[in-house]
Structure 1
Amino acid sequence: MRVRDILDAPQLRMRLLHGDAGDLDRTVARVCATDMPDPRPFVTPGALVCTGLVWRQHAADSDRYVHLLAGSGVAGVVAGQALHGHIPDDVVAACRRHGLPLLSAPQSVPFSRIIEYLAEQAADVRWQRVRSRADRQRRLLSAVAAGAGIETLLADFAAEQQVSVWLLTSTGTVVAGTADLSEPEIDRILATALTAPRLPAVTAGALRVLQVGAGDRITAWYLVIRPSDPDLDPFGADLAAVAELYRQRRADRQHLDWELADRFPTPFAERSGSSEAAIVCEVHAATGAAATLEAVRATLHDALPDLVTAIDGEGRLVGVTAGTQDGTAGVLNRRFGRIAPALSGIRLAVGVSVRQPEEPLAGTIGAAAAASTAAREDVGPVSVRVADIDSAVGLLTAVPGGLQRRFAERVLGAVLEYDRRHGAGLLATLEAFLGCDGSWRYAAERMHVHPNTVRYRIGRIEVLTGRDLGRLDDRLDLYLAVRTLSGQTAPV
């Protein structure tokens, strides 16, 4: 209700003493009556204050009193005539000075009648909203039953409510919308959607964001509404509930496809005439690993609609998609960067590798696996790395996993057998020694043993392998073999 509605109510017989058109359009949240010298404890923002002017002992009191009301954010003032028989000019001047609309109530209209009128009107508004919402729910459900697409429902809702509206996924895919959204706008919307303490929430640009779908926020969709009038608060809960039907329908189809693919695994089909990229995504979660893996799989498919995925024997997401290595990595960096704030207790290490025409798919996935292992060491909830061959380790990733395994077993087979028989810890010592750039002392400190123990074990390794760790080529062989056995190149 507005101040204008109270002024125009014939049963109240109000008279306007001050206020322009803008003042009269102010929203009235409630009506309160007070004549206390300091009204601030008894009024709230948006209130229409009824006063009998008992506080006015002198003309100077008017400016002080109205100043306190204006500072409290009230919508306006209704002054009664019972005490003075009229409204003093200094009261009118104070309201004009502080920008508050002033209405005069006749002596025959008690303030209680004004409060009752507002309560009746508010009840009528609530009833109309209930009827309107019920009608809207019926229309929406009828449209769903008739097979209407979500795009049609959003367009109809936007036209009826005079708003702009969008439906977004957590990584920024626009499922449907009534206008274009720029990437910075999507970033701002999702920053609010994924980090607000509770939803609905309002972004800095006055966009209202509602969650579509219960549960975690990275698998939810988001209904975004921009009112044509900043003071308008359109209902979106009904549309969000209907949008959940579409989201769940899509999720069910997707999960069925995954279940069939995981139960009856087949090699990834090769796409002719287009470049391909392989992806390996490691998901590290403190709790709920299975649910988290499924949620991350959904976001991967959302970010890369052409993606085909499977879960390998080590519980990693492995997939192939059309596109270049750098382009795929760029999309994942941007899309996964948006959900990073919502990945509480979850780390994603993603490797991407391009598939060369002459290269078997196993080698491409192996290179992506090596990149994901390197990403595991990065700081932050999300790391995306590409498989480069600008190093010896990177070059080894181009070798199929089976050959890598045979190489590692050929170089370190005797060491592995010795450890199996004697539990001597030779492989762990070699890994620590190489990781400390060949320093006896640092390797001993890392393993909490005496430096002479490290020297003895390294000597035993040199005898068993026939390699001299003082030689660069021999040290490189041992380094690559250790990396392969520890899973830091291709899957073995």
Structure 2
Amino acid sequence: MFTLEALVSDAALELTVLVPGPAGALEAPVVWVHNTELPDPSAYLQEKELVLTNGLWLGQVPAAEFVANVKRARAAGIVFGLRAEMPRTPEELIRACAEAGLPLLEISQAVPFTAISHTAAAIYTDQRQRGLIGMVRRGDALATAISRGAGASGVLRVLTKDHDLPLAVVDRMGRLLATTGARLDEEQLRIVAAGLSRRPPALELDLGTGLAALYPVGAVGDIDAALVCLRPLFGLTPAEHEALEQAARFLSLEVAKQQAVQAIEMRFAGELLEMVLSGGRTTEVAERLRAFGVNPAGPLTVCAVALAGAEAGTPHGLAQVIGDFLGGEGVPAVVAGGTQDVVTVLAWNRPEPELSLLAERLVKAVDQRFPGRRAVAGLGGLAPHSAGLRRPLMRSREACRVLRRAPGGPAVRGFAELGTHRLLLGLVDQDTLRAFSHDLLASLRRHDARRGGDLERTVRAFLDHDAQWATTAAALHIHVNTLRNRLAKAAELTGRDVNRTEDRVDLFLALAIDAME
């Protein structure tokens, strides 16, 4: 765009300012020029256009009415062209523009209106050329920064050489990847992450301290991060907006590069687990661990992490969160993501009890990144070296699978800490287990629903109190004879007598399976 001041400063146009208009009007952007002699050109004018006129309408409407029509269209101002029949700008036009607060310029008879058009076009061309040159130069600098491994921080440094903006790069997990001139707290990072998870992603967010513009950064068709500018979209100039969009595209290249590296690492980690499970190729296992910075000759352990719920699956970014956490703890590890869990092989030279504390902190970190989803971690015990990893690997995954199916249960457990019945239940088809539990408990539930009874609650309490009659009766606030009558009725309905061990086991398992659903 150009300004009235730019036109006036061009001596060849021979323009004179008769009415400057309100403060800043001469410096305001003008989109283009519009030549008209219509008494009311408002229907054809665009906002911020400059009206060029010789005043041929003066015999049809008063100057004040013409000015009002131009003002209504929000034009940038009026240029009055002098001619032989009217060598001076009419006083009534000058007065009307002054009263309306509309800039009025006068152009001499010797200069045609086309000269203004040519000057405006030349300004546009120069601006566009400078913009393109700047974009190419900035593009070269951005490409160089990425090719040299400067990462997201390097991209921001290039961008701020031309534009003084508060910027940050935040991924969809709410992690701050780079920043310059911007400070974002945990809550603001969470807001950005939530905005990126929308479909379509948010392009502007209220971060509590004001609006911020978001420029999505994606790779392989998905949005993985955003270039965040702590300015509202309306507060950015076209040049700033264009530069931010360009930087976001280059950040997409950086994200794609990182994802490719992570995919290779994840594949190598997955192959490592397959080698461990196969029970052979111990030399290759040791070499692969060394490649990840893990000493294969020292003590090792395995931790499997997942989100609770039978159908939870492994969310995008879980492996990255775990890797970042362990890196921050200074623990060398190999992280391998799967469809149902993320398995981590860790070098562990500390006392074994500290492993549970580390796993609990890890679970809390995962919970923070995936609010509303409960993380669990299964521990497989220690192996003296890489040749002994198979057993801890299998145990950690089995423990994790049991924890996932126990809502409200512990978040971290070692294989040895789990009850034998839970491990056995984890090996049986879940549909079969649910059918067994439902069939056994259905008669109790129908009776309780029909009679308003407490048979199921009574059986649970009896088993919870290790089949102690007096203790159970006291816990239920009933007489022992009442307890005996209830359990006798339960035996009649289910065919399972709590006085017989095998029947008691059936009832215990049915209730345990019900708690796992």
**For this structure pair, what is the TM-score category when the shorter chain's length is used for normalisation?**
0.5 to 0.7
- Distance in 1 (CA, whole Å) between partners of 2:46 and 2:445 is 67
2:228 aligned partner: 224
Shift of 1:236: 2.9
Query: CA contact under 8 A between 1:30 and 1:118: conserved in structure 2?
Result: yes
What code does the residue aligned with 2:418 have?
P
1:249 aligned partner: 257
- Distance in 2 (CA, whole Å) between partners of 1:400 and 1:437 is 33
Q: Which runs of 5+ in 2 are unaligned?
A: 278-288, 328-332, 347-354, 383-391, 453-488
Q: Which runs of 5+ in 1 are unaligned?
A: 338-347, 376-385, 443-454
Shift of 1:404: 1.6
Shift of 1:30: 2.0
Q: Which has the higher contact order (CA 8 A, sep 6+)?
A: 1
For 1:200-349, what aligned pairs fall within 5 Å after superposition?
201-203=203-205, 205=210, 207-218=212-223, 220-225=224-229, 230-231=236-237, 233-234=239-240, 235-265=243-273, 279-281=305-307, 295-297=316-318, 300-301=321-322, 304=325, 306=327, 309-311=335-337, 315-317=340-342, 331-332=365-366, 334-336=368-370, 349=373
1:451 aligned partner: none
Q: What is the DSSP-based 3-state SS (H/G/I as helix, E as strand, rest coil) of the residue aligned with 2:98? A: helix
RMSD over aligned Cα atoms: 5.1
Q: What is the DSSP-based 3-state SS (H/G/I as helix, E as strand, rest coil) of the residue aligned with 1:462? A: coil
1:11 aligned partner: 12
For 1:43-442, what aligned pairs fall within 5 Å after superposition?
43-57=45-59, 61-62=63-64, 64-82=65-83, 84-183=86-185, 184-190=187-193, 192-195=195-198, 197=200, 201-203=203-205, 205=210, 207-218=212-223, 220-225=224-229, 230-231=236-237, 233-234=239-240, 235-265=243-273, 279-281=305-307, 295-297=316-318, 300-301=321-322, 304=325, 306=327, 309-311=335-337, 315-317=340-342, 331-332=365-366, 334-336=368-370, 349-352=373-376, 372-373=404-405, 387-388=409-410, 399-400=417-418, 402-406=420-424, 426-430=436-440, 438-439=448-449
Query: CA contact under 8 A between 1:431 and 1:482: conserved in structure 2?
Result: no
Shift of 1:480: 0.9
Query: CA contact under 8 A between 1:171 and 1:299: conserved in structure 2?
Result: no
- Distance in 1 (CA, whole Å) between partners of 2:171 and 2:325 is 13
Shift of 1:222: 1.8
Query: CA contact under 8 A between 2:496 and 2:507: conserved in structure 1?
Result: no
For 1:446-457, what aligned pairs fall within 5 Å after superposition?
none
What code does the residue aligned with 1:210 have?
Y
What code does the residue aligned with 1:404 have?
R
Q: Percent identity?
A: 19
Query: CA contact under 8 A between 1:277 and 1:328: conserved in structure 2?
Result: no
Shift of 1:467: 7.7
Report the CA distance shift for 1:302/1:165 in structure 2 as closer, same or farther (over 3 A): farther
Shift of 1:227: 7.0
Shift of 1:335: 3.6
Query: CA contact under 8 A between 1:283 and 1:316: conserved in structure 2?
Result: no
Q: What is the DSSP-based 3-state SS (H/G/I as helix, E as strand, rest coil) of the residue aligned with 1:233? A: helix
Report the CA distance shift for 1:388/1:196 in structure 2 as closer, same or farther (over 3 A): closer
Query: CA contact under 8 A between 2:305 and 2:400: conserved in structure 1?
Result: yes
Shift of 1:196: 7.3
Shift of 1:310: 3.7
1:480 aligns with 2:512: yes
Report the CA distance shift for 1:456/1:285 in structure 2 as closer, same or farther (over 3 A): closer
Report the CA distance shift for 1:400/1:90 in structure 2 as closer, same or farther (over 3 A): farther
Shift of 1:154: 1.8
Query: CA contact under 8 A between 2:89 and 2:106: conserved in structure 1?
Result: yes
TM-score normalised by L of structure 1: 0.66
Q: Which moved more, 1:240-249 or 1:22-31?
A: 240-249
- Distance in 2 (CA, whole Å) between partners of 1:352 and 1:305 is 16
TM-score normalised by L of structure 2: 0.63
What code does the residue aligned with 1:280 have?
A
Q: Which has the larger radius of gyration?
A: 2
Shift of 1:239: 2.8
Report the CA distance shift for 1:354/1:145 in structure 2 as closer, same or farther (over 3 A): closer
1:2 aligns with 2:3: yes
1:343 aligned partner: none
Q: What is the DSSP-based 3-state SS (H/G/I as helix, E as strand, rest coil) of the residue aligned with 1:213? A: strand
Report the CA distance shift for 1:327/1:237 in structure 2 as closer, same or farther (over 3 A): same
CA-to-partner distance for each residue in 1:290-319, whole Å, 9 max, x for gaps? xxx57344664587464864456x734456
Query: CA contact under 8 A between 1:351 and 1:370: conserved in structure 2?
Result: no
Report the CA distance shift for 1:52/1:333 in structure 2 as closer, same or farther (over 3 A): farther
Report the CA distance shift for 1:408/1:146 in structure 2 as closer, same or farther (over 3 A): closer
Query: CA contact under 8 A between 1:171 and 1:303: conserved in structure 2?
Result: no
- Distance in 2 (CA, whole Å) between partners of 1:440 and 1:331 is 46
2:477 aligned partner: none
Q: What is the DSSP-based 3-state SS (H/G/I as helix, E as strand, rest coil) of the residue aligned with 1:168? A: strand
> How many residues end up aligned between the 2 structures?
424
What code does the residue aligned with 1:264 have?
L
Query: CA contact under 8 A between 2:378 and 2:415: conserved in structure 1?
Result: no
Report the CA distance shift for 1:401/1:456 in structure 2 as closer, same or farther (over 3 A): closer
